[in-house]
Amino acid sequence: MFVVVLLFLVYPSTREGKKQSDHPALWWIDGAGNEVKWTFGDVAVNSKKVANLLSNEADVKPGDRVMVILPAIPEYWLIQAACLRTGSVFLIMPTNVGPKELHRRMLKSKPVCVVAAPCDQVNNELLDVVDEVFCSAEVDIRSRILVNRMKYEERSHFVESDLIWIASPTEPRTHCNYRQRDILTFPREPGDDSRPDSVGKLLTGIDMLIVDDKYNEVTPGTQGRVVIRVKPYCPVGMFTRYVDDPEKTESCFCGDFFITGDLGRMDEDGYFWIFGRTDDVLIIDGCNIIPGDVENCLKEHPAVLNCVVVSVSYLNRQMEFIDDLPKTGTGKVDRRKLQCADL
């Protein structure tokens, strides 16, 4: 997935008599475990269709801002390529952001178009915020594009007339005549058992493993550290070094592996789940506690809008009220800032 931007912007050199546009640009494993390839020509055609969708039906002009709330990486990059074609500004919105934070960002950034996907990875409360701002006069949103009105697991029941819709104040459901296979959404085969809450299976050419603290591979279903094999062959687009910082570079590698810093697990069918970062793990009385697990339990309570778990040494019982949680530039909760706070 790291190679997408590098590859679809520049054609590779011609080899063995093939046209430049025939070389693979996107190469991934779909939910049924099949290899799917898009050539540079496919990416050019499909991104042009998305660009036409933005320019024509969505009325996006050069310099306008397009906010994207999408969980799927291939769809995400296709929208970004379309924004490059139209000269519009691509705004990244993490799917784990809270409704209040989304509302604040929409008011601040003032997008003219919002692209969202009703699915398990995108909280319905976020879509409600989009609806609320869209129908109000707070922001002049000209259009919104909803990718898949049905649930993720019902994608296989889609027909060509149910794929991509644009909602506008005058015509809430204006259909755009584009085929699912050609734009935005990749089809699911009948009987596909993909897990919508996982990050999916490995791409061809990527060897990612789950290991223990001693970097021994663990059995499927066991939680551990996420590493990627970079020797003897390093995947295209992978991190190689920090400029002028050999010590920091060395800390990112162990033997033949690149240390991602993520915690995760792989099931018996090869699907991966990511739970958090290794530097966020709390060790209390010899037990490893992952803040994300605690946070997920707290968020299940209807009264909890958002939460974060951090460690504080020798804290007496006390309670402090704050208006909002500090965020990083990517929209994630800034744990380090909370830990440095005077609690």
**Banded model confidence at residue 43, pLDDT cuts 50, 70, 90:** confident
Polymer length of the chain: 343
Q: Please tell me the CATH superfamily of domain 200-277, with its number.
A: Luciferase; Domain 3 (2.30.38.10)
> What stretches of 92-212 show up as alpha helix (H) in DSSP?
99-109, 124-135
**Closest C-alpha among 42, 36, 50, 51 to residue 11:** 42
The structural domains of the chain, with segments of one domain joined by +, span: 24-164, 200-277, 281-340
Q: What is the mean pLDDT of residues 173-187?
A: 32
- 3 touches 237 (CB < 8 A): yes
In this predicted structure, what is the pLDDT of residue 218?
93
- CATH of region 24-164: 3.40.50.980
In this prediction, what percent of the chain has a pLDDT beyond 70? 66
In degrees to the nearest 10, what's the CA dihedral of 57, 181, 92, 67? 20
Name the DSSP letter for residue 127. H
The burial of 102, by beta-carbon neighbours within 10 Å (0-12 exposed, 13-18 middle, 19 or more buried), is given as buried
pLDDT tens per residue across span 53-80? 788 767 888 999 998 887 665 667 778 8
